[in-house]
Amino acid sequence: MNNRTEFPRISSDRISKLDENEIFVFGSNLEGMHRGGAARIAYEQFGAIWGAGVGMNGQSYAIPTMQGSIETIKPYICQFIDFAKHNPHLKFLVTRIGCGIAGFTDADIAPLFTEALQLDNVYLPKSFYDKLVSLPKVPDFVLKKIYGQTRTLVDILIALNNKKHFKSSNEAIDAVSTYLKGLREHGNEIASNCSIHSLRACADNCFVNGHLDVKKLKKSLEKGFYNDNLADKAYMNYVIEKTIKLIMYMNEFRRYTDVEQIINDFQQATGEVNHCQEHSYYFEFGSYPSCFFRNYIQNFWHKFAPNGELNNELFYDFMIDRHTRGIKKYGLEAVINRNYQNDGPCHPEVFFPYRGGAGPVYVERETNPNLCGRKPNRRFIKSCGEGKGPNAVTDYFEFNLVKRLIENDPKYVVIKDFKNRIMLVPKNDVTLPVYDYYYGKEEYDSLKTQEAAIKKIWEAKH
């Protein structure tokens, strides 16, 4: 019985035996009562344990699907994908989990496996694969809903409007400016409570099977210190997202197993939490996001204040939801073609929104076939500064914070590649990221492509 096909990575709908490195991924219940369907097969043939409803046992991996809504299933699928990332030597054959007794459809479950399309060792049912490839490609930063500076400013203004009910754009802008100035006085407490202090208090409990569970860590940081002050809570959310994003970036090459290492790395990268620094990790709201935010409020006030008073729902829809909905429905390139214009002859690669609602600034960048192992294609990344003056390097800000950590990591070596570029290359583990010393993490289509690139770099050295 052929359990899988390589291109695309499809798992069979009739799996009766497994190779030594293959894992049967099935839908379970939290109680681990494997009475029927794929769960019974996993229990009788592939080592699933009665009473164990989550995770790997024998040659099976259980994902609970019977406990409620799609939102209750999603964390377990994210946990599975993270497990698959850290076990590239195994091949995971996913069944149509949730689409039997649980009562969900392929359209419900398939989008939860979007990230798995990037993994060479995860094989999906054809019905899931067909649903995923027919959807517009949604960039990672939209799926992850990073709480950036513009989103923070939006939520701060909404919180202030709940109390003050703004009747003009200037009144709203002045109130936000006054709040941001106040962060210089009390923001340090918020940032400390939601980053360093919380990491020390809760990070020990956020390791699963020896690996850092970033989603669990994020949930642990959300302690609700400032629920009575919604403006401070908006800023708290920004601090948490920024903390988690940096830890995730460092975890890609550190593979954390120890909370003290997380805290030490975080402190080295950010220079502690200090609002007195000229370039603080948390407190510096860039001029470009602030400028765009102010311009949107002034130019489109009539759209979200039709009766003369700021309407929070209309404002949030215009500033956040409309752009995200468009990407999910039509794809990012279609939204940019319709609602964006480039920045003129000096910066033709920069695109900024001019109709259809607010949105971030994007930079057009072609993939490099020498790096990615494929033909160049048009792609867009969010501007590093969420405004003009962008840097066309993904995660450029985070990379510059942690470059010295990578350079001094015993798992890495600094060498020149076949194009005479200075590279940060893993010594032994080809699943670790590769970094250009000046431009950050390299992007590859697959682990096989990355392994081939690392091999070529080492060959050039010798």
CATH number (domain holding residue 28): 3.40.220
Q: Which amino acid is at 73?
A: I
CB 437 within 8 Å of CB 421:
yes
**Together in a domain, 182 and 253:** yes
Positive/negative CA dihedral, 329, 333, 337, 343: positive
Shared-domain flag, residues 12 and 127: yes
Same domain, 18 and 107: yes
Report percent pLDDT > 70 for the chain: 86
- Give the tens place of pLDDT for each residue, 11-45: 988 888 899 999 999 999 999 999 888 999 999 99
- Domain end residue (candidates: 382, 401, 429): 382
Q: Is residue 60 part of a domain?
A: yes
Last residue of a domain, one of 101, 135, 169: 135
Calculate mean pLDDT across residues 141-162.
81
Query: What is the signed CA dihedral for 319, 323, 324, 329, rounded to 10 degrees?
Result: 150
User: Which DSSP symbol is given to 410?
Assistant: T
- Look at residues 420, 411, 333 and name the one whose alpha carbon lies nearest to residue 378: 333
Helix 230-254 and helix 259-270: axis angle, to 10°?
110
Torsion sign over Cα 155, 160, 162, 166:
negative
Whether 46 and 111 map to the same domain: the answer is: yes
At 447, the pLDDT band (50, 70, 90 cuts) reads confident
* CA–CA distance, 279 with 29 (Å, rounded to integer): 49
- Cβ-based neighbours of 193, under 8 Å, separated by 6 or more: 223, 225, 236
Residues 164 and 225 in one domain: yes
Beta strands in 243-383 (DSSP E): 340-342, 350-353, 362-366, 378-382
172 in the same domain as 222: yes
Is residue 426 in a domain?
yes
Based on the fold, state whether residues 124 and 10 are members of the same structural domain.
yes
Indicate if 162 and 118 belong to the same structural domain: no
pLDDT in tens, 171-226: 999 999 998 888 767 777 777 777 878 888 888 888 888 888 888 888 888 776 67
Domain-embedded: residue 178: yes
- Average pLDDT over the chain, rounded to an integer: 83
Q: Could you report the per-residue pLDDT of 416-443, keeping only the tens digit for each? A: 887 788 999 999 999 999 999 988 888 7
Q: What are the pLDDT digits (tens) for 235-260?
A: 888 888 888 889 999 999 999 988 88
The amino acid present at 98, given as its one-letter code, is G
Residues 373 and 438 in one domain: no
Is pLDDT above 50 for 153? yes
Distance CA(196)–CA(143), nearest Å, equals 26
Range of the domain at 419: 410-461
Find out whether 384 and 397 touch, Cβ atoms under 8 Å.
yes
- Taking the C-alpha atoms of residue 360 and residue 205, their distance in angstroms, rounded to an integer, is 36
> Whole-angstrom Cα distance, residue 387 to residue 362?
8
pLDDT tens, 300-358?
Answer: 999 999 999 999 999 999 988 888 888 888 888 889 888 888 877 777 878 888 877 78
User: What is the reported pLDDT for 397?
Assistant: 77
| Whether residue 301 is found in the same domain as residue 266 | no
- Domain membership flag for residue 20: yes
Q: Using the predicted structure, report yes or no on whether residue 97 has a pLDDT greater than 90.
A: yes
Cis-peptide, bond into residue 8, ω within 30° of zero = yes
Residue-level pLDDT at 171 = 96
- What pLDDT, on the 0 to 100 scale, is given for residue 6? 67
- Which residues, 6+ apart, have CB-to-CB distance to 66 below 8 Å? 27, 28, 29, 30, 101, 102
The answer on pLDDT for 278 being more than 50 is no
C-alpha closest to that of 297 among 441, 398, 150, 107:
150
Identify the weakest region by mean pLDDT among 2-11, 42-51, 115-124. 2-11
Residue 40 falls inside a structural domain? yes
- Local structure of residue 7 (DSSP, 8 states): T
Same domain (yes/no): 173, 114: no
351 within 8 A of 382, measured Cβ to Cβ: no
| Residue 140 within a domain | no
User: Are residues 26 and 96 in contact, defined by beta-carbon separation less than 8 angstroms?
Assistant: no
Whether 288 is covered by a domain: the verdict is: no
The domain boundary, picked from 255, 270, 285, lies at: 270
pLDDT band at 378, cuts 50/70/90? low
| Backbone φ, ψ for residue 381 (5° rounding) | -125, 155
- If asked whether residues 8 and 131 sit together in one domain, one would say yes
Report yes or no on 84 lying in a domain. Answer: yes
pLDDT tops 50 at residue 387: no
Give the count of domains, the chain. 4
- Per-residue pLDDT band for 284 (boundaries 50, 70, 90) equals low
Q: Is the pLDDT of residue 379 over 90?
A: no
